Structures are given as structure tokens and as C-alpha cells.
């Protein structure tokens, strides 16, 4: 919608075919008519019942003529000079000032000039002083910040905001947006492609108001488009799916066991698994993750994550790193079956993948769940079914019966066998109340409760 200089309030619509905006409505014309606009008949023009004309003669003298007789709406031009006199009352014809009044007026005028100039100069000096103080304060802040960053070990490469602005062509190539910011494509000086995330209101940056992160560029995007879009353009054979599953398992095992503090990702799903040019999978988006001390076995926290991937213990708010194992089990099934955990396009009894998986397990008909749209997957049905048993192990309702991610890696590599005593009576994941505001604390510590509000599913 745009209010034009001609007084029209027009509504426009983007047309994909013409790649441009086209007018679809004029909001005011129906109510006020064409004559209601101030310049519908041009300069000096008068609109009467939709017809344009010039003001008529006065006392036999024509003052205006049309600019173009064939186009009356082009307005009128002045052909006789106009003058205007205003009649007033009770005003003496002239006022004579005495010499004393004249001198007093000059002194008063001079005093006003001096006072005005002094006030302006005082204000100018004050403004300059404020700007200098702000500059010095910002300079001290920058120097202190630089000194602090120089002493932080293990920092990745730092870039200035100007460098990132240039590398992203002024943040022009948008790749996507997440819960905490927008991601842009960028190219380093050496030609390496990277992804730059511009954070929204959170995060740390050396230039205060600008918060950005630089990631490895993942040209094949997220996993979801490769397993949920049934097109020839996006398809994965059995070998690639096995490799992706193993990469995800190794990534989660690293977070759980190889970091200084254990990290629970808490939002494992296909949208958060990125693929590079060789289809190596990387676990991404740690916006909901939580640190767990090594001497802790579990923590109490608000429910967070994405519906469909949440372990049953979220209902008690007491969670361990095994919630990621459960989410991994759901993702594993989605990769093997090439369908979402909840699919409204399926018959009612088959909408929930976990419920269907449980029934097929009992009936020993897991072959029915193997991706029907991929010939290579059908050729490796038996291997796929064996991997489904890994998913069943990860989906145990009792988190203590689930394997650790390091054990899952060993199973996928053929070093360890799947547990035989598996309970197939696992349940569907809970749905979180994303608007809830609760207290969370560490179970094994004596720290005070902290008030937290965490983002819901994205």
C-alpha cells in the first residue's frame, strides 16, 4: 500500500510473471470521487462533475487559460498577473517613533543578538564536550574489550563487521533463518565459502551492536529436504544414509563424552543436521543445548525442543543426555522410512510413525516400512531392518535402558551387537507447553534456582 503525491491511496500486488508490482486497488476513489483529489485537474485547474476547467473571468478579465485544450487535466496557466489585498480595520495609517524609542529598540535588538549568540555558543561547546566524552569512553571500551579477547585462549578467527559486510555483499545472499538469527552466504578472501549468521539481540561480538557468527558453508543444506521430498533431485541411496546416520551418532557422542562439560543438544531433528558437498553430516543449531557437569548424571530443566522428538522423561523435567539418544532414534527411523514422525497424508492408523513401527515390530513386518520410493533401499531391505532395531533400542521409554551414543557408534560400526532384551512398548513423545515459565536447577548441585524462559520448537 502506498499514499502517492497525487493523493491516491493505492494497493499493489507482486506479480511473479512480470517480476514487478501491479496496482490492484485505489482505496479512496470510490468514497470521495475523482474530484476529491487536490491536483486531479493540474495546477489552477477546477474539477466539476468529473470535468476539468479553468477559473472563469472576473470583471471581464480572463486570468487563466488551459495549458492544452485537448487535455484539460493538464492544468491552467496564468495569463494576467494577480494581486491580493486584505481589508483590515482600526489600523492607523502611519506610526511615528520618537528618537528615544528608536534607540531603545536598537539596544534591545543588540541585547537579544548577544544573548542568542552566547546561548548558541554554549550549547555548541556542550555538544562537542559530550561527543568527545562518548568517543573517549567508546575507545576505552574497545581497548579493554580487545585486551580481554587477546587473553581468551582457543578463539576462532575474528572478523570485523566491515569485513563480514563486504564478504556477504552487504548481507545480500540469504540462505535461511532460524530461531536466533538469519544466515547469509559469504566467500572468504581465499575463495572458501562460509555461512554467516547474524544474531538477533543475543550473543557476543567485539563490535557491540553487531552480533555475527561464521560457520562452515554446507552446500547440500539440511537433511530434511533429502528425506522428506519425494523427488529425483533429492534422494539418498543406502550407502549415503548409513554414512549420515553414523556421522550424526559420532557428533552426538562427541558432545556427550568428549567435551570438557557434557553437552545435551536437546533439539536433534533432520532440520538441524547439515550436509556438506560430500554429504558428511554435521549436528548444528545449539540454541537449546545445555551444559551438564561431568559429576552430574541428570538435571532438572524446562521442557524444550521440537514436538515429536521429545523423550518421555521430559514430562517429569528430569533429563539426562539420553534424551538426545531418544531423538536420534526418531531421526533414524525417519531416514530409513523416508517419512516424518507424524504424517497427516497417511491413513489415521499410520499417521504416527512410532505407533506404526511398534505394530510392525510385533507383527514382524518391518520390511513394510523401508523407503518404497528408492530402489537401492529396497535392494538392502535386510540391512535396513537390522538398523531399525538400533532405533528401537534408542526409543526405550526407560532412559536407563537406552544405549549411550558411543555404544550406538560401535553398533553402527559392527563392533557391538544390539541389545536383545528390548521393550517394544515405547510411547509417542510428549508435546511441550512452550509458553510455560518455570524454574530450573541442577539436581546434584547446591546452587540456587534460576528463573529461565526457553524458546519453543522452531
- Binding site residue list: 197
pLDDT in tens, 221-252: 899 999 988 776 778 999 999 999 999 999 99
- DSSP assignment, residue 69? T
Structurally, the chain folds into a number of domains equal to 3
Nearest to 323 by CA among 398, 424, 387: 398
Helix H or strand E encompassing 356: helix 353-363
State which H helix or E strand residue 409 sits in. Answer: helix 405-412
Which residue, 182, 198, 216, sits at the end of a domain? 216
pLDDT at 27: 72
Residue 391 inside a domain? The answer is yes
Q: Could you give the CA distance from residue 393 to residue 400 in angstroms, rounded to a whole number?
A: 11
Question: Looking at the structure, do residues 195 and 47 belong to the same domain, yes or no?
Answer: no
For residues 57 and 173, membership in a common domain is answered with no
> Annotated binding site for ATP: which residue ranges?
197
Backbone φ and ψ for 270, nearest 5 degrees, come out as -60, -30
Query: Which DSSP string corresponds to 235-296?
Result: ---HHHHHHHHHHHHHHHHIIIIISSSEEE----SGGGEEE-TT--EEE---TT-EEE-TT-
Question: What is the predicted pLDDT for the residue at 406?
Answer: 95
Answer whether residue 295 is part of any domain. yes
pLDDT at 283 (0 to 100): 92
- Looking at the fold, whether 212 and 255 belong to one and the same domain comes out as no
Query: Closest by alpha carbon to 333, among 352, 347, 311?
Result: 352
CA distance 444 to 441: 9
The band of 436, judged by pLDDT with boundaries at 50, 70 and 90, is very low
Structural domain range at position 350: 224-452
Give pLDDT, residue 162.
77
pLDDT of residue 404: 95
Q: What is the mean pLDDT of residues 45-56?
A: 81
What is the mean predicted confidence (pLDDT) over 18-29? Answer: 75
Given 47, 78, 109, the domain boundary residue is 78
> Does 117 fall in a domain?
no
> Per-residue pLDDT tens for 63-95?
888 888 777 788 888 887 777 666 766 665 555
Residue 152: band (very low, low, confident or very high) from pLDDT cuts 50, 70, 90: low
Active-site residue list: 267
Q: Is the dihedral of CA 199, 201, 205, 206 positive or negative?
A: positive
Do 248 and 289 fall into the same domain? yes
> Which of 307 and 428 is assigned the larger pLDDT?
307
Shared-domain flag, residues 184 and 299: no
Are 285 and 414 part of one and the same domain?
Answer: yes
Return mean pLDDT, the chain: 77
Percentage of the chain exceeding pLDDT 90: 26
Whether residue 402 is predicted with pLDDT greater than 90 in this model: the reply is yes
Domain boundary among 199, 216, 233: 216
User: Which pLDDT score, from 0 to 100, does residue 324 have?
Assistant: 95
Same domain, 256 and 186: no
Output the CA–CA distances (angstroms, integers) from residue 328 to 220, 239, 272, 310, 429, in the order listed: 21, 19, 12, 10, 13
Same domain, 175 and 202: yes
Both 347 and 436 in a single domain? yes
CA distance 203 to 180: 9
pLDDT in tens, 316-355: 877 889 999 999 999 999 999 999 999 888 888 889 999 9
Please check whether residues 318 and 268 belong to one and the same domain.
yes
Q: What is the pLDDT of residue 448?
A: 30
Give the per-residue pLDDT at 147: 53
Encode pLDDT of 284-310 as tens digits. 887 787 888 777 777 777 777 888 899
Q: What CATH number does the domain containing 365 carry? A: 1.10.510.10
* Cα angle value 428/434/438 (rounded, 5°): 110
- Given this model, what pLDDT does residue 154 score? 56
Assess whether 232 and 305 both reside in one domain. yes
For residue 458, is pLDDT > 60? no
- Beta pairing class for 174-177 and 181-187: antiparallel
Nearest to 309 by CA among 329, 292, 338: 329
What does each C-alpha distance from 21 to 3, 8, 11, 24, 244 come to in angstroms?
15, 16, 10, 9, 44
Whats the size of the chain, residue-wise? Answer: 458
Pair 173, 201 in one domain: yes
Establish if 107 belongs to a structural domain. no
Amino acid at each position: 500500500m502506498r499514499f502517492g503525491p497525487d493523493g491516491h491511496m493505492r494497493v499493489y500486488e507482486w506479480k511473479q510473471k512480470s517480476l514487478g508490482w501491479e496496482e490492484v486497488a485505489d482505496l479512496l476513489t470510490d468514497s470521495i470521487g475523482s474530484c476529491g483529489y487536490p491536483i486531479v485537474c493540474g495546477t489552477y485547474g477546477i474539477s466539476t462533475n468529473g470535468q476539468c476547467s479553468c477559473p472563469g473571468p472576473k470583471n471581464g478579465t480572463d486570468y487563466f487559460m488551459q495549458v492544452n485544450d485537448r487535455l484539460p487535466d493538464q492544468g491552467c496557466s496564468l495569463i494576467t498577473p494577480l494581486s491580493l489585498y486584505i481589508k483590515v480595520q482600526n489600523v492607523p495609517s502611519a506610526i511615528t517613533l520618537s528618537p528615544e524609542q528608536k534607540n531603545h529598540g536598537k539596544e534591545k535588538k543588540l541585547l537579544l543578538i548577544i544573548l542568542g549568540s552566547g546561548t548558541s555558543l554554549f550549547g555548541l561547546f556542550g555538544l562537542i564536550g559530550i561527543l568527545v566524552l562518548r568517543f573517549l569512553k567508546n575507545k576505552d571500551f574497545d581497548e579493554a574489550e580487545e585486551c580481554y579477547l587477546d587473553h581468551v585462549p582457543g578463539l576462532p578467527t575474528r572478523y570485523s563487521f566491515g569485513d563480514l559486510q563486504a564478504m556477504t555483499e552487504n548481507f545480500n545472499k540469504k540462505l535461511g533463518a532460524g530461531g536466533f538469527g538469519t544466515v547469509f552466504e559469504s566467500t572468504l578472501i581465499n575463495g572458501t565459502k562460509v555461512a554467516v549468521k547474524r544474531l538477533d539481540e543475543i550473543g557476543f561480538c567485539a563490535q557491540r551492536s553487531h552480533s555475527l557468527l561464521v560457520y562452515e558453508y554446507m552446500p547440500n543444506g539440511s537433511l530434511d529436504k533429502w528425506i522428506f521430498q519425494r523427488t529425483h533431485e533429492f534422494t539418498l541411496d543406502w550407502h549415503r544414509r548409513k554414512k549420515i546416520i553414523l556421522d550424526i551418532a559420532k557428533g552426538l557422542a562427541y558432545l556427550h563424552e568428549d567435551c570438557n562439560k557434557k553437552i545435551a543438544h536437546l533439539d536433534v531433528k533432520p532440520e538441524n543436521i547439515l550436509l556438506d558437498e560430500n554429504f558428511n553430516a554435521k549436528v548444528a543449531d545449539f540454541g537449546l543445548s545445555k551444559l551438564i557437569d561431568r559429576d552430574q548424571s541428570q538435571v532438572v530443566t524446562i521442557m524444550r525442543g521440537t514436538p515429536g522428538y521429545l523423550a518421555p522423561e521430559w514430562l517429569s523435567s528430569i533429563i539426562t543426555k539420553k534424551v538426545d539418544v531418544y531423538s536420534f532414534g526418531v531421526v533414524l527411523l525417519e531416514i530409513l522410512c523416508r517419512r516424518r514422525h507424524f504424517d497427516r497424508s497417511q491413513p489415521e492408523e499410520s499417521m504416527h510413525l512410532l505407533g506404526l513401527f511398534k505394530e510392525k515390530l510385533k507383527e514382524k513386518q518391518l520390511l513394510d516400512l523401508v523407503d518404497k520410493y528408492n530402489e537401492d533401499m529396497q535392494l538392502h531391505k535386510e540391512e535396513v531392518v537390522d538398523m531399525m532395531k538400533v532405533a528401537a533400542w534408542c526409543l526405550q521409554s526407560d532412559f536407563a535402558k537406552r544405549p549411550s551414543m558411543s555404544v550406538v557408534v560401535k553398533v553402527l560400526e559392527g563392533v557391538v551387537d544390539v541389545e536383545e532384551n528390548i521393550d517394544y512398548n515405547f510411547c509417542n513423545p510428549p508435546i511441550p507447553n512452550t509458553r510455560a515459565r518455570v524454574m530450573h536447577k541442577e539436581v546434584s548441585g547446591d546452587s540456587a534456582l534460576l528463573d529461565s524462559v526457553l524458546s519453543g520448537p522452531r
